[in-house]
Structure 1
Amino acid sequence: MKFINTYISLFLFSIVPFTIFSQVKNIGLPAIKNYKRSDYKGGTQNWNIDQDKNGNVYFANNSGLIQFDGSTWNKYSLPNNTAIRSLKIDGSGKIYVGGNNEFGFFKSDEKGKLKYHSLSDLVSKKDSRNINLIWRIHIYKGEVIFQSFTKVFFYRNNKLIVINAPNKFQFSFIINKHLYFQDKVLGILEYKDQKLIALKGTTSLNDKEIWAMFPLPNNKILFATLEKGLFIYDYNSVKSWNTEANTFILKNTSLGGSIIKNKFIVLNSVLNGIIICDLNGKIIQHLNRQKGLQNNTILTSFVDNKNNLWLGLDNGITFINQNSPFTFFDYSYNIGTVYASVIFNKNLYVATNQGLFYHSWTTPFKDEPFTRVEGTIAQAWNIQVLNNTLLCASNSGALVINQNKVLKILDTRGYFGFKTIPSHPGYIIGESYNGFSIFKNSSNEINFINQVSGFDETTNTFEIELDNNYLWLKKEPYLYQMKLSEDLKRFDYIKKHMQISPSYKGIGSLQSINNKVYFQTKNHFYRYSDEQENFFEDKKLTNLFQKIPPINTLIEDSNSNLWYSYNESIGVLLKMKNGTYNSQNAPFSNLTGNLVNNYISVNTIDPNNIFIGLTNGLAHYDSKISNNFITTPKVFFESFSSTSDTIITGNLEKQLTDLTIPYNSNHVKFTFSSPTYENQENVTYSYKLEPFEENWRNWSTTSVKEYTNLREGNYKMQIKAKNSYGVESEASEINFTISPPWYRHFLAYLTYFFLILAGVYITSDRVKLKIRKNKYYETIEQRRLYLEKESKIRHEQHELEKEIERLKSDKLQIKILAKDKELVSNSLQVVKKNKVLNGIIQKIKDIDTNTLDDSTKFEFNKLHKSIVKEVNTDKSWKDLEKHIKNVHFEFLKRLKEKYPTISPRELDLSTYLLMNMSTKEIAEIMNISTGGVELARYRLRKKLGLNKKENLIGFLMSI
């Protein structure tokens, strides 16, 4: 029993990837990104690689120093334009480089531009004659060490110390804080106290060109030679390292390598890419041109600060995302689009668009591609293990697979998949292109029984689940509820559902969880109650998906984890031991867009081996690998430009502060980068310029932003980056000030202030002068106005006097008119009196006086004479007529002038009418009848030219 347990443990150890212990996986290929010369615009060969504290990567290239910050490539050349063969970056950011007879360092100036400072000038004339190629640069105990084949230069405090090679150097290495050199005669030399001390037993390596040294456990060192293979040294003797790695290097030669976490060794080859082996020499991973590299000659390798791998190639640069739980099987493994996968009889089977493929699961994958199962050239939609039988649903039909070939064709119609029937043990129902078929498994053999009648629609996009009562089929836009007959030959009951809840339209997905059928819409999960013949919501399952985007597919794997797809992405709810779920979707964000829509495939063998089908192959995911690979990204301003200057801020040792820009350069441009090299194309940026913008801009892959015509003031530009896993960086910022134009500058405002003061003073003085003048002129004007007013008063007084005189005259006239009226009245009374007296006289004349006595007759005659005298002596009327003419002289004059033909009699009539005398009064005065007055009026109107409607008296008054 103990032997069996030991065997099982060894077997599991052999098949479980080494990702349990580190990031390097022995199954599948890591994500690889190749950069061509046209990308970095440099030479072909890249000899060395290093990284600064900001994460920027530098390459020693044939055309100079190449810098890459994740967004932009920059190139810097040596003065003699020679190739750079070595480089090293110290903690201060100085980039030490070496070339042919030239070495020094690049350092940013005050504007962030990398400037080269040569150290070759410090070499004496004697030593400068044969500097040769600088192949290695080390930083060791505060010194910078430049090593060529002939000399070693130790640089500190701007001074150089030179040590000549005892014979001829090959290369140098720092191992476990010790500095070693290979001498062609003396073997391996250790540098101590400015002396070179030969190590015991290393002269056997003199005929071998050592390109790398690696520390091994138990105080041992591994030597990687160019053509002689790998050797192990225990500080006494050198022995060949008889391992898989050594066999590979002997066949393909080595150009050195690097080490990952002191656990894995990367070995560069000349002929066949790189291998990654463990410390026992077992090859974990082999990458070459066939597996995605653009070149098989690897000149250098470098492990960056995230344990990802950079390769300097004979022609190009390659980035390998080793620090990831994902690896991939792509075209190099002979597979295309993957719809399903399963492990059966120690083989991994994969259903693809090109047929069914398999690969041994118990032996390492290494370089062997997948092999096609014989007889499965057509598209394979599914591969399943049912009742210990491997079934393939393909375009060629329902196939039984055994011994990696088609054992039996159950039905020639195309099939999508198979399900066991819970209520009929041993029976299987298959989904064909035009309905359903029944198969039976008996006596270790599976056979086609019949096609189910009653439903023959095409189900090329479907979801199907079975429970004890119904077969459920989702086919847009319906959910079919179907019941199989007892003999499984037909559907006795078919019902269509348009929705499963009155609150939510449509049907999202159909899935089986814990052997129960669930229906999902808008992340709400329902089950069906046969008793109530209705759907009811499962609140517990719904609550799990509250904070998850709307899903379109849900799959429960063999470990009860819930895998869901959304927006062409995938996530998982990992089931914990206590029954709770832990949601994860960030690790899978890099698969977005590569999943097969409507055919989400997740095959969980164990937590270390999870396979996910992709449009371009198969992804392998190890959930036990720490999520430390998802780190918070950093973001930097690469450059800050205005129309007058450019500052490369990414190279500055200190953050840019107190930057002032003239107003005529207020067109500014920012470029920014995030040294996040895995899935760099999915890195997005957001930014805002305060106070110009209040809110952050939407996330975008654009790493350049310009602002034009900014006003003067203080500004703060902030940027954030978000990597492909959706993790945001902290904001980086640049504070700068735009000076106002000269006419809005502080000095200008000060000048304006003094000019205003001067203007106020001058204006005040002129105003005072003006006031004095105005007072003088005002006095003159007041004098003039006084005189004018006095003259006006006098004039008004004169006019008033005239008015008074006029009023007196009018009053007098009124009085005269009143007197005239009174006079006329009296005159009329006199006329009446005279008329009466004349009547008396006439009556007296009719009396016969002869009958009277003398005395009486005398008295009678006396009375008669007295009456006649009274009548003859009364001149009242003549006086009245004269008076009337005098009073109305002006009127009569105007009337006569206007109407010369008017007669005196008509003038009198006009006067009487003007005095508003009645017809009777006029008749008496004029001694005519009233009819005569009317006739006279008529004649007067005619002479005056008046019509019947015009008033005669009003006309006369207007004259």
Structure 2
Amino acid sequence: MKERFKILFIIIGLFLVANYSYGQFIGYPFYKYYSSQDYHGGIQNWKITQSQNGLLYVANNFGLLEFDGTNWNKYSLESGTKCRDVFVDTDGKIYIAAQGDFGYYIPNNLGKLTFVSLADSIPGDKRNFDEAWRVFKKNDQLLFCTFDDIFVFNKSGKLLNIVDPETDPDNFFLVNHQLYLNQAGKGLSVMENGRVKPADLGGFFKNMTISGILEISNNQLLISTLKSGVFLKTGNTISTWNQQNQSTFQNSNINQMIRLKSGKIAIGTQNEGLFLLDTKGNIKMQLNKGRGIENRTVLSLYEDIQGNLWLGHNNGISSVALNSPFEHVNEQTGLPGTGYDALLLRDTLYLGTNNGLYFKNIQHKNSTFQKVENTTGQVYNIKHLHNSIVMGHHSGTFDIKNGEAQKLANISGTWTLLDLRKHPKYVLQGNYKGLSLFEKTERGLVFLWKLDGFEESSRVMEEDEEGNIWMTHGYKGVYKINLSEDLKSVQSEYYGKTKGLPSKVLINVWRLNSQLIFSTESGIYEYDKKKDRFIRSSFLSDHFPESVQIVSFAEDALGNIYFVSTNETGVLEKSTNGNYKKHTAVFNQLRNVLNDDLHNIITLEANKVLFAAKEGFIHFDNSVQKLQEINYSVIFTKISISNSKEDSIITYGRQMDGQNVTFEQVNKNIKIPFRDNSVRIEYSAPYMNGQFQNEYQYWLENNEDGYSDWSIRTAKEYTNLPEGDYVFHVRAKNIHGQLSNVATYEFTILPPWYRTPWAYGLYVFLALVTSVLVFLIFELRYKKKTEIITEEKEKEITRIDSELKTSEQKLEHLKNEKLKSEIKLKNKELATSTMHLINKNSFINSIKTNLNNISKRSKNQEVKHEISRVIHNIDKNISADEDWEHFSIHFDQVHGDFIKRWQKDYPDLSPQEMKLSAYLRMNLSTKEIANLLNISVRGVEIARYRLRKKLELERSDNLQEFILKY
């Protein structure tokens, strides 16, 4: 039953605290300030807007400013005039209104923004205007508002209409597709169907300067004025909006008013900085110079995609993290020094720093911290004990009453105060040199005595259920302390590595989930009473690895556990089933700001804690949405070719994709000569949360194996890239650990001329020619060598041939001599045979003649008859002489087969003519031939004549010469 009442009491208490703490002001949101030196522009910033890809644009005195999350770029107009307004259309065109000009910016072929004037297209008598103050998009029309006329253009840049108000306007507002004009002496007007007419009840504002108009509902307009306050127009009535704050609005000089995504109203003023109001006009927060921002004048307001509120000052630009669950409690709230400990008691917040103890009423929004008297110096601890506020200080222990500190004991170095459970009337103090005891009395805490038996510095202590005091020393280990029965001394037992702890250093004890746990440099441990040693704790083991070192823990009334480790900060949100859900990403922006001397987390109430910081404290509200999932991308801001001589820009990132401006690569056919193979790529992620601590990974495909390590570098340079096709990948990780979309850029490094396909073709050709030449050279050398060898061989052969020829000649000579001898012999034999024949025939002829003579003289017929028979036999003997065959054989041997060749060439010759030819070849005389042929000399002549005819010789041809040459 008691337990039920306890739970009910806690629930009622939380409800009361939640309602009581509504509207509490503790600190200021995180912010970032940019001076004119940071953005390299003029001091005044008249309008702020953002493109769909996250880039921020500011209408500045020196032109158009662009912020990509890393760098500021400035685009000045050729006339050098001030830029008054800027609007980014969905197609990426950036429209501006400026002094004496208006138009739009689009990227050129290199991606650099260039200005295109639309004012130059208006008629000459209208061109000479002084100020183009506003630019709006209404449906598909663009309205450029000057203090003389309103110029209406279509998206193609064609002038559609010129609206000339009867009275010059001094401000313009587009609300729900309706253009309102503030006209001096007339008040509020509206433009409809190309004409300007008075708005309903517009005359109410005829002597006022309207600075902002917001639509609250379909029938309500919230209208702010420069000096006359803020009014609510509902139908046909106009009323003052929040009469209580009206004088504040009037004295602040309102410059601009916008409605935030949360529904709150943000008002930028000339004199009083920024006001954040609810829908009733109640001021929830004010940021002013030295109190959350750096400049009291706010000319323009804009809430970006991530929920940051951008302020355009009279000098500088601020970004305020309104959607962050963190607030900074520092010197701007009146709190100097490094934070150490804190206490929230009802509506008063006490904060202890190295400069002293400070307090303030958090219900008063404009209040600042006041210092508690007599607290100068290092504060370590502040607690509410027995209706007393007790402070542990370097100088001792103090009781805080009515804004003043009174020392309770003259013992220096009070680390902590522990309300003893086993001895509820007493409080144990841990100090530089041991322990002391205090008693709770009606007058408050009273110092009793210093406890004997323990002299160690006692900064961190907790009491277990059995009344044991566990004290952890920063570099000595753990001590279990027991008070004596008279409470004047203690006994201690030391626990170190021999008792299961991983080491004796960096150990702290915490009470979490109604149990004691011990954080070490290597995980979380708990005490096992049965084993009297430390063992690894299973508590939170699902959320922390065994090697983690937790440096601070805190648990709020809802059971949420906040922690700081050496590598992360976060909260374990406790669900209704008792499980925990870990959140760390949103805490990444606390890197480098927390107090690294004595880490501390202080729970104020449910879902609200303070982190001790290097400058004051960080207030965290766990009920605020921790993270908003934002789809963001990395953009390329500049890609250039870098070498020792000059930088050549490839692109500034933007490209025209048809009629739209994009940062995605459209032209992927980027060819870079080999001589320019050093490429510098610059990039940025326009994610504006978390103090802009984005990290990047990059990877050059075809050159690197994978993504690089995370780094804050926003540029990567590659030198001496070999030829080939490359794809550069880059992605970002914001401070919350969320990854961006991957951006890619493709390019090709062309090979050097000597490694081009033409060159390789030439190389092949030259190789072939060289091969042929080498072959020919070797062939020539081989031929020459062969010729030399051949020549030598020929010489040798010639020599041998010569010798052989000489031998042959000799042999031939011998043969010839032999042949000559044989021929001579043959000729001799032939001549002999021929002479024999001649003599024989001559002898026979003489016998025949004698016989004829005898026959003629003889008268005896028988004798005559016998002689005739003999003469006939002689004639027969001469004609049938077989010596011719023998003669022809010898004749052919001597005269080269003359008879055979002669007979073959002249087959028609008779045997008698063949013999005549042979005898002519032998150069015989006619008489000799007559004897051989047994004919008369006349017969030989006739035979010669007949032979000439058969041989078909001319008259001039000599028969014997012809036969001799044959």
Q: Where on the TM-score scale, by shorter chain, does this alignment land: which range?
A: 0.7 to 0.9
Match of 2:206 in 1: 206
Determine the structure 2 residue equivalent to 1:702.
713
> Secondary structure of the equivalent of 2:627?
helix
- Are the equivalent residues in 2 in contact too, given 1:554–1:565 (CA < 8 A)? yes
Are 2:639 and 1:645 aligned? no
Give the secondary-structure state (helix, strand or coil) at the position aligned to 1:126.
helix
Letter in 1 for 2:356: G
- The CA deviation at 1:318 is 1.2
The one of 665, 669, 680 equivalent to 2:680 is 669
| Equivalent residue number for residue 732 of structure 1 | 743
Q: 1:648 to 1:303 in 2, by over 3 A?
A: farther
Aligned to 2:184: 184
Structure 2 residue identity aligned to 1:693: E
- What's the offset of the Cα at 1:17? 4.8
Residues 43-58 of structure 1: pairs in structure 2 closer than 5 A: 43-58=42-57
- After superposition, the Cα gap between the structure-2 partners of 1:420 and 1:680, relative to the gap in structure 1 and judged at 3 Å, is closer
Which of 142, 145, 148 is 1:144 aligned to?
Answer: 142
When the two structures are superposed, what TM-score results if normalisation uses the length of structure 1?
0.76
Shift of the 664–195 alpha-carbon distance from structure 1 to 2, 3 Å rule, reads same
Say whether the 8 Å CA contact 1:611–1:618 is kept in structure 2.
Answer: yes
* Amino acid corresponding to residue 151 of structure 1 in structure 2: D
Tell me the secondary structure at the aligned position of residue 204 of structure 1: helix
Tell me the residue number matched to 1:600. 599
1:16-75: per-residue Cα shift (whole Å, max 9, x none)? 457xxxxxx954211111111111111111111111122111111111111111211111
Distance across 2 between alignment mates of 1:519 and 1:52: 51
Please name the residue that 2:512 is paired with.
Answer: 513
Counterpart residue type for residue 196 of structure 2: L
Q: How does 1:526-537 map to 2 (within 5 A)?
A: 526-537=525-536
* Alignment check: 8 A CA contact 1:328 1:617 kept: yes
- Sort the Cα spacing of 1:473 and 1:11 in 2 relative to 1 into closer, same or farther, 3 A: closer
**Structure 2 CA distance for aligned equivalents of residues 701 and 767 of structure 1:** 65
Tell me, yes or no, if the aligned pair for 2:242 and 2:280 is still in contact at 8 Å: no
Q: What is the TM-score with the length of structure 2 in the denominator?
A: 0.75
Structure 1 range deviating more: 469-478 or 397-406: 397-406
The counterpart of 2:726, out of the listed 705, 715, 719, is 715
1:148 corresponds to which letter in structure 2?
T
CA distance in 2, matches of 1:587, 1:740: 48
Change (3 A) 1:786 1:436: farther
The verdict on how the C-alpha distance between 1:636 and 1:753 changes in structure 2, with shifts beyond 3 A counting, is same
Distance in 1 of aligned mates of 2:73 and 2:139: 31
Tell me, yes or no, if structure 1 residue 102 matches structure 2 residue 101. Answer: yes
Q: CA deviation at 1:116?
A: 0.9
Letter in 1 for 2:681: F
* Distance across 2 between alignment mates of 1:372 and 1:231: 41
Secondary structure of the residue aligned to 2:737 is coil
Residue 480 of structure 1 aligns with which residue? Answer: 479
* Pairing of 1:189-268 with structure 2 (within 5 A): 189-217=189-217, 219-261=219-261, 263-268=263-268
Q: Give the Cα separation in 1 of the matches to 2:525 and 2:791.
A: 106
Q: Cα–Cα, structure 1 residues 474 and 778, in superposed 2: closer, same or farther, change >3 Å?
A: same
Deviation at 1:767, TM superposition (A): 6.9
Q: Which residues of structure 2 form unaligned runs of 5+?
A: 1-8, 656-660, 805-966
- Corresponding residue number in structure 2 for 1:565: 564
For 1:221, the aligned partner's letter is: L
Confirm or deny: 8 A CA contact 1:70 1:673 kept in the other structure. yes
- Find the counterpart in structure 1 of residue 960 from structure 2: none
- Partner SS for 1:315: coil
Which residue among 657, 660, 669 is the counterpart of 2:671? 660
- 1:456 partner SS: coil
Matched with 2:355 is 354
Would the alpha carbon gap of residues 407 and 273 (structure 1) be closer, same or farther in structure 2, given more than 3 Å must change? same
Cα pair 2:586 2:627 within 8 Å, conserved: no
Is the 8 Å Cα contact of residues 479 and 507 (structure 1) preserved in structure 2? Answer: no
Corresponding residue for 1:275?
275
**Retained in 1: the 8 A contact 2:556–2:607?**
no
Q: Deviations over 1:920-941 (max 9, x none)?
A: xxxxxxxxxxxxxxxxxxxxxx
CA contact (8 A) 1:260 1:303 kept: yes
- Whole-angstrom CA distance in 1 between matches of 2:418 and 2:799: 124
Q: Any stretches of 5+ residues in structure 1 without a counterpart?
A: 19-24, 794-959
> Which residue matches 1:342?
343
8 Å CA contact 2:523–2:550 kept in 1: the answer is no
CA distance in 2, matches of 1:8, 1:416: 30
- The alpha-carbon distance between structure 1 residues 55 and 345, as it changes in their structure 2 partners (threshold 3 A), is closer
Residue in 2 aligned with 1:368?
367
1:164 maps to a residue whose letter is D
CA contact (8 A) 1:387 1:441 kept: yes
- Equivalences for residues 563-642 of structure 1 within 5 A: 563-567=562-566, 569-597=568-596, 599-629=598-628, 631=630, 633-642=632-641
Distance, in Å, in 2 between the alignment partners of 1:678 and 1:785 is 102
* Residues 1:122 and 2:121 are matched in the alignment: yes
Deviation, 1:636, is 1.6
Q: Deviations over 1:416-445 (max 9, x none)?
A: 211122322222101123211111224474
| Deviation readout 1:838-873 (Å, 9 max, x if unpaired) | xxxxxxxxxxxxxxxxxxxxxxxxxxxxxxxxxxxx
Q: Give the residue type in structure 2 aligned to 1:351.
A: G
Contact preservation (8 Å) 1:301, 1:311: yes
Greater CA drift, 611-620 or 749-758 = 749-758
- Supply the distance in 2 between the matched residues of 1:502 and 1:617 (Cα, whole angstroms): 34
**2:725 is matched by which residue type in structure 1?**
N
Q: For residue 154 of structure 1, what is the amino acid of its counterpart? A: V
* Structure 2 residue identity aligned to 1:146: F
CA–CA distance in structure 1, aligned partners of residues 790 and 433 of structure 2: 118
Other-structure match for 2:132: 134
Q: Which residue of 2 aligns with 1:940?
A: none
Correspondence for 1:322: 322
The alignment of Structure 1 onto Structure 2 pairs a total of residues equal to 779
Aligned partners of 1:243 and 1:280 also within 8 Å? no
How far the C-alpha of 1:548 sits from its partner, in A, is 7.9
Deviations along 1:190-246, one digit per CA (max 9) or x if unpaired, are 333323342211111011111111121362111111111111112423332234553
**CA distance in structure 1 between the aligned counterparts of 2:163 and 2:361, rounded to whole angstroms:** 57
**Alpha-carbon distance change, 465 to 733 in structure 1, aligned in 2, over 3 angstroms:** farther
Q: Aligned letter for 2:142?
A: V
Counterpart for residue 451 of structure 2: 452
Of 780-789 and 227-236, deviating more is 780-789
Give the CA deviation at 1:369: 0.5
User: Bigger shift: 620-629 or 530-539?
Assistant: 530-539
**How far 1:630 sits from its partner (Å)?**
5.8
Name the CA shift for 1:782/1:387 in 2 (closer, same or farther; >3 Å): farther
**Residue 690, structure 1, aligned to residue 701, structure 2:** yes
8 Å contact from structure 1 (residues 61, 83) kept in 2: yes
State the shift of 1:85 in Å.
Answer: 1.0
1:819: which partner in 2? Answer: none
Q: 1:694 to 1:378 in 2, by over 3 A?
A: same
Aligned-partner Cα distance in 2 for 1:486–1:8: 37
Please report how far the alpha carbon of residue 90 of structure 1 lies from its aligned counterpart in structure 2 after TM superposition.
0.7
Deviations 1:897-940 (A, max 9, x none): xxxxxxxxxxxxxxxxxxxxxxxxxxxxxxxxxxxxxxxxxxxx
The alpha carbon displacement at 1:404 in A equals: 4.1
Shift of 1:292: 3.7
CA pair 771-579 structure 1, distance change in 2 beyond 3 A? same
1:421 aligns with 2:420: yes
Q: Which residue of 1 aligns with 2:523?
A: 524
Cα distance in 2 for partners of 1:526, 1:548 equals 12
Deviation at 1:678, TM superposition (A): 3.0
